[in-house]
Structure 1
Amino acid sequence: MALGNSRTGKQVSKVATVPKVSGPLSDAKIMALRPATSGQIEYRDSMVPGLRVRVGTTGIKTFVLRKRIAGKNRNLTLGRFGERLTIAEARKKARQILSDVELKADPAAAVPKPQRRVVHAHTLNAMWPDYRQAKAHLRTVGEVERIFKQHILPEFGDRAADGITRSEITRFIDRIAKRTPVMARNVLSQFSAFYSWAMPRLDRLPGNPCRDAGRPPKPKARERVLTDAEIGALWHVLDGEGHPFGPAIKLLLLTGQRRNEVFEAERSEFDLEKRLWTIPAARAKNGVAHFVPLSNPAFALVKGLLEHDRGDKLIPARGNWEAGPSGFSKAMTRLRAGLEERVGEPVPHWTLHDLRRTMATGLQRLGVRLEVTEAALNHLSGARSGIVGVYQRHNYFDEKGAALKLWAAEVARLARAAKAKSKRPR
């Protein structure tokens, strides 16, 4: 805690005290407080006299206790609001200080002296570069880095790794799970992997705190498959979407490949003379290089996308030719609304990954053998996994080409049917 004095006019002008929020302060109410537009704003607590929450322009919320000591107004900084200092803990700390001030002969002695912050050599921030280097050989190192920088380091970066508890991790994961259960499981898995690496390097760490932390339940497997009417209507909606999402999602629908494999594709992966798309092992989810024969419609889309001559990406972001596009959420909102308008009725929620499942289901309906369907999807399960996968080395290249050609013809048929239906009087 830090001792401050807010009697000067300069300080007072920067801190504005507003009326109490309705009812006592709570953690939920504090979390909902918006950043100050300028300076700082203090919100008073109705349960402990002098206790306030100070909010700055960055949105950081700090508990302060204002008390008159030895004839002078003092601001006592209790600490930053968060998991380690909730409103309940702040009230407890404030009441103790108020009690000490009343009892001590020297009131100023009741105020704890500010302590120098000790930078722990084993904070997550300090250990992260070595851990990142240890994982540099992994194909998924980009995902490891993304999860650490977006989730783990902002929450625990300045904490000693051997001081983070199982309950703290559980609460952290629970908060993420309220928004995205799948991401919560991924974050916990990456955090646990870090501790497996860190344990031999931390003498005081008794065990992996992630091991017994609460884990969100595995989400139910999705079963969404677009109907024939939805497939045909979606094709026309994509006609109106334009670059980059229109042609890119058409390519995704025609080939059944994963979203990142399409949107992060490099120009060098395509051989127009052979009408072949080669997804390298480094980019394939299962680490196996994948050869995708291009049907006529897919070939036409790729040829059109390759007309630009800037950067290495097949589908570059606007204004950044070396990166893939962003703005997926807004694009999907437009496409879902457009599909409902085109179909003329509510459409169940669907995602880009559902298009991959839709193609797989469509190939089965068209009589394509399961092992060929799995080969087309580069999916190592079922017929291509286990001992069978070890000895069965046939890559089904010709069969994949025939299957994708058949599926492209089916999508074209459904698009024609949707167009004809839209012309009929209602």
Structure 2
Amino acid sequence: MATQERSEKIGRPVRPEPTGRATGSKPGSGALTDAKIMALKPPATGQVEYPDTIVPGLRVRIGVSGAKTFVLRKRVAGKNRNITLGRYSERLTLPEARKKARQILSDVEMKADPVAALPKPQKRSATGYTVNALWPAYKQSKAELRKIGEIERVFKRHILPEFGDRAADGITRSEITRFIDDVAQRTPVMARNILAYFSAFYTWALPRLDRLPGNPCRDAGRPPKPKPRERVLSDEEIGALWHVLEAEGAPFGPAIQLLLLTGQRRNEVFEAEGAEFDLERALWTIPGERAKNGVAHLVPCAPAVVSIIESLLDHDRGDKLLPARGNWEVGPSGFSKAMARIRAALEKQVGRPVPHWTLHDLRRTTATGLQRLGIRLEVTEAVLNHLSGARSGIVGVYQRHHYFDEKRAALAAWSKEVTRLQGLHRRKSRLQKV
């Protein structure tokens, strides 16, 4: 029988791992895996550490909050040193944590002064405030902002996993620069947004931290503003995408169909609530607090949109039109994996590589399609809820409720066009199979 995998609880004797393991396992099965980490349950009290058998000293720690953190334990100069590597997340995966741990262990072995090779522990602030400790008060101070949902999403997904456990006045400009540079390699726009939100946090925190000399984000490296995107899906791609979305199912399938048919913004669709829809009048009212420009927006619904909404509404399930699977109180997550899956399926449908596209490109595709159908520019801007160009300034104030009938006609025409493109794709697919 293989040795039972064990965990180590801080300050207490070693006890068996709660998840257990079947007997007769192969040697080396005590190694950490993503499945094991995701299955870990938070302890009732304290913290629990689970060792990795592949990289000696590497452990994943879970506390009562459920947060999972990689730590490296190394004995140096007769003393155990604990090095926090970071939160288990999309940015710090298990392979990345192992790579990081191996680099530190190698540095320790190669340096003449092994203690100097280890990352120096950050000094705690006089207040002891970490970013995690300050976050609830900061969030409360911004509760009235229209974009508080986006601020919270950026903090929870990017900033808190990286810096949450750190003393707020111990984070340096260079650390933030490296972090932002790393994000910018994948998503330059998001990198700029993260830096802006983190800088606003430090502007708020500055008078609350005596030892904070200044806003470390102020002079941190800022990625250049990306060039405006011009990607518009072709007719062939639109027809094929609709076929893919029908097979995808909720929440992403119908949500992306709504994005394409209405031209509204991603958050406006994915955070929609059932109460915003009046199906008898075929009308979707996006409240001002959820609209990017703060202006309540009336979106006439074409019959295809009404059909999608009817399939999603479940008043016994909760307020969210598109809830997360297993949690009806919040919106869906897992956008990166879903988009990778949908992009791959689209390429399979068209039978060739498809240039990269994003959810926001669907909004541009809708706008371009409306123009191609002969819809006037000011009506297209009204559909998109733009207060720029023809509807900006004082003109926009008086035209806010204009063009309703024109918007309904425009979106109905675009829905018919998408249906036509979907039909063309189906006929083409049948002919190819013959």
Give the TM interval when normalised to the shorter protein.
Answer: 0.7 to 0.9
Q: Distance in 1 between matches of 2:417 and 2:172?
A: 55
Deviations 1:382-423 (A, max 9, x none): 222234424544531111111101111211221222222223
Root mean square deviation of aligned Cα: 3.4
**In structure 2, C-alpha distance between the alignment counterparts of 1:190 and 1:365, rounded to whole Å:** 38
Q: What residue number does 1:106 align with?
A: none
- 1:54 is displaced (CA, Å) by 2.9
1:186 to 193, 198, 205: 193
CA distance in 2: counterparts of 1:246 and 1:158, whole angstroms: 37
2:311 alignment partner, SS class = helix
Does structure 1 residue 363 correspond to structure 2 residue 370? yes
- Give the secondary-structure state (helix, strand or coil) at the position aligned to 1:150: helix
* Contact preservation (8 Å) 1:120, 1:160: no
Aligned-pair distance for 1:293?
Answer: 0.6
Q: Residue by residue, what CA displacement relative to the aligned partner does 1:30-82 show, whole Å, maximum 9, x if unpaired?
A: xxxx99x9646697xxxxxxxxx73224431244325xxxxxxxx22355266
TM-score by length of 2: 0.72
Q: Is the 8 A contact 1:237 1:338 kept in 2?
A: yes
Q: Is the 8 A contact 2:76 2:114 kept in 1?
A: no
Residue 65 in 1 paired to residue 72 in 2?
A: no
Whole-angstrom CA distance in 1 between matches of 2:51 and 2:368: 58
TM-score after normalising by structure 1: 0.74
2:113 to 85, 95, 112: 95
2:108–2:114 contact (8 Å) kept in structure 1: no
Deviation at 1:294, TM superposition (A): 0.9
Residue 216 of structure 2 corresponds to residue 209 of structure 1: yes
Equivalence for 2:240: 233
Counterpart in 1 of 2:79?
76
Q: Cα distance, 1:149 vs. partner?
A: 3.3
1:171 aligns with 2:182: no
Report how far residue 307 of structure 1 moved: 5.7
SS at match of 1:311: coil
- The unaligned stretches of length 5 or more in structure 2 are 1-12, 15-35, 38-48, 62-69, 87-100
Match of 1:199 in 2: 206
After TM superposition, the structure 1 stretch with the greater mean CA deviation from structure 2, 165-174 or 155-164, is 155-164
How far the C-alpha of 1:266 sits from its partner, in A, is 1.0
Q: CA separation in 2, counterparts of 1:118 and 1:409?
A: 61
> How far, CA to CA, are the matches of 1:211 and 1:119 in structure 2?
22
CA contact (8 A) 1:275 1:293 kept: yes
Q: How big is the shift at 1:243?
A: 3.2
Per-residue deviation, 1:332: 2.7
Identity %: 66
1:385-400 → structure 2 map (5 Å cutoff): 385-400=392-407
- 1:207 and 1:227, CA in 2 relative to 1: closer, same or farther beyond 3 A? same
Q: Determine the structure 1 residue equivalent to 2:409.
A: 402
Q: Is the 8 A contact 2:107 2:114 kept in 1?
A: no
Query: Which has more radius of gyration?
Result: 1
Counterpart pick for 2:391 among 371, 384, 388? 384
Which stretch has the larger CA shift, 54-63 or 251-260?
A: 54-63
Cα distance in 1 between the residues matched to 2:255 and 2:178: 39
> Does residue 1:424 correspond to 2:431, yes or no?
yes
Question: Which shows bigger deviation, 371-380 or 301-310?
Answer: 301-310
For the structure 1 residues 322 and 355, does the alpha-carbon distance in structure 2 shift closer, same or farther, using more than 3 Å as the test? same
Correspondence list, 1:8-19, <5 A:
none
How has the CA–CA distance of structure 1 residues 171 and 378 changed in structure 2, closer, same or farther, with 3 Å as cutoff?
same
Q: Report if aligned partners of 2:125, 2:211 keep a CA contact under 8 Å in 1.
A: no
1:342 matched to 2:349? The reply is: yes
How many residue pairs align between the two structures? 360
Distance 1:126 1:375, change over 3 A: same
Contact 1:65 1:94 in 2 (8 A): no
Deviation at 1:217, TM superposition (A): 1.7
Aligned pair partner of 1:314 in 312, 316, 321: 321
